[in-house]
Amino acid sequence: MKHYQVVFEEKRIALFTDTTTDELSIYNSDFKVPILKENEFEVWDSLSILEYVSEQYLSGQGWPADANARAVARSISTEMHSSFFNVRNELPMNCRKEFNGIKLSEGAVSEIERIKELWRRCRSEYGSGGEWLFGKYSIADAMFAPVALRFNGYNIQLDGIEKEYVNSVLAHPAIVEWIEAAKLETEVITEDEIDV
């Protein structure tokens, strides 16, 4: 929404605190985040929110215009949404720290290679019009931004296209703002803290 300058107000709810359940109980998301509320209408789940914003505010421009590129963008976005459990578990989201020498399972290594392969394919086949996976910024880039942040924070070895892509994500003004806001947070999610 920030990339396309859709005006919205953000409400931060700290997770895993004494007030989290109460704060989320007023929404119909089964205590899940994120949630988009527009007047009395609610949509939850990141991919559903992105689809809604694309349809309601961007005339569908959240996805690539080319039908083949659009189908691949949807495929990789839903794969990101439903897969890569080892990466999520072994590289928990943490914008406030950097890690070196983390030991990964074979499953996580395989998933990382799959993600890098997807990025290389999208950039090579569809990304000639710009620095994003499909040239122009899309829902697919929003879906993979947390992965790019994880790869950077855990110093995952990247080369060529995938390194350039992560650099583009890190330089995006909305991501810079997101990281700076994360550094100001004081909560610690103990179960997501890892030692290297």
CATH value at residue 89: 1.20.1050.10
Residue 162, pLDDT above cutoff 70? yes
Q: Domain end: 45, 61, 77, which one?
A: 61
Query: 186 in a domain, yes or no?
Result: no
Q: How confident is the model at residue 109 (pLDDT cuts 50, 70, 90)?
A: very high
Query: 110 in a domain, yes or no?
Result: yes
Query: 15 in a domain, yes or no?
Result: yes
Q: 149 with 100, same domain?
A: yes
Query: 28 in a domain, yes or no?
Result: yes
pLDDT at res. 168: 98
Q: 104 with 8, same domain?
A: no
Q: How confident is the model at residue 192 (pLDDT cuts 50, 70, 90)?
A: low
Give the domain extent around 6.
1-61
**What count of residues does the chain have?**
196
Number of compact structural domains in the chain: 2
Q: 28 with 98, same domain?
A: no
Q: 123 with 166, same domain?
A: yes
Q: 140 with 50, same domain?
A: no
Q: Domain end: 11, 36, 61, which one?
A: 61
Return the higher-pLDDT residue of 28 and 117. 117
Q: Give the model confidence (pLDDT) of 19-78 as tens digits.
A: 888 988 989 888 888 999 999 999 999 999 999 999 999 999 999 999 999 999 999 999
Of 51, 74, 50, 49, give the one whose Cα is nearest residue 64: 74
Q: Give the model confidence (pLDDT) of 142-160 as tens digits.
A: 999 999 999 999 999 999 9
In angstroms, rounded to a whole number, what is the distance separating the alpha carbons of residues 137 and 68? 16
pLDDT at res. 189: 60
Q: 109 with 139, same domain?
A: yes
Query: 188 in a domain, yes or no?
Result: no
Q: Give the model confidence (pLDDT) of 6-19 as tens digits.
A: 999 999 888 778 88
Domain of 56: which CATH number? 3.40.30
Q: 132: which strand partners?
A: 135
Q: For residue 177, give every residue at least 6 positions away whose Cβ sits within 8 Å of its Cβ, in sequence order, or none.
A: 2
Q: 74 with 142, same domain?
A: yes
Strand ranges (E), the chain: 35-38, 41-44
Q: How confident is the model at residue 190 (pLDDT cuts 50, 70, 90)?
A: low
Query: 194 in a domain, yes or no?
Result: no
Residue 188, pLDDT above cutoff 70? no
Specify the pTM: 0.90
Q: Give the model confidence (pLDDT) of 83-99 as tens digits.
A: 999 999 999 988 877 88
Q: How confident is the model at residue 100 (pLDDT cuts 50, 70, 90)?
A: confident
Query: 115 in a domain, yes or no?
Result: yes
Q: 56 with 83, same domain?
A: no
pLDDT at res. 191: 56
Q: 24 with 86, same domain?
A: no
Q: 76 with 52, same domain?
A: no
pLDDT at res. 121: 97
Query: 73 in a domain, yes or no?
Result: yes
Q: 158 with 174, same domain?
A: yes
Q: 55 with 120, same domain?
A: no
- Angle formed by the axes of helices 106-126 and 160-171, nearest 10°: 80
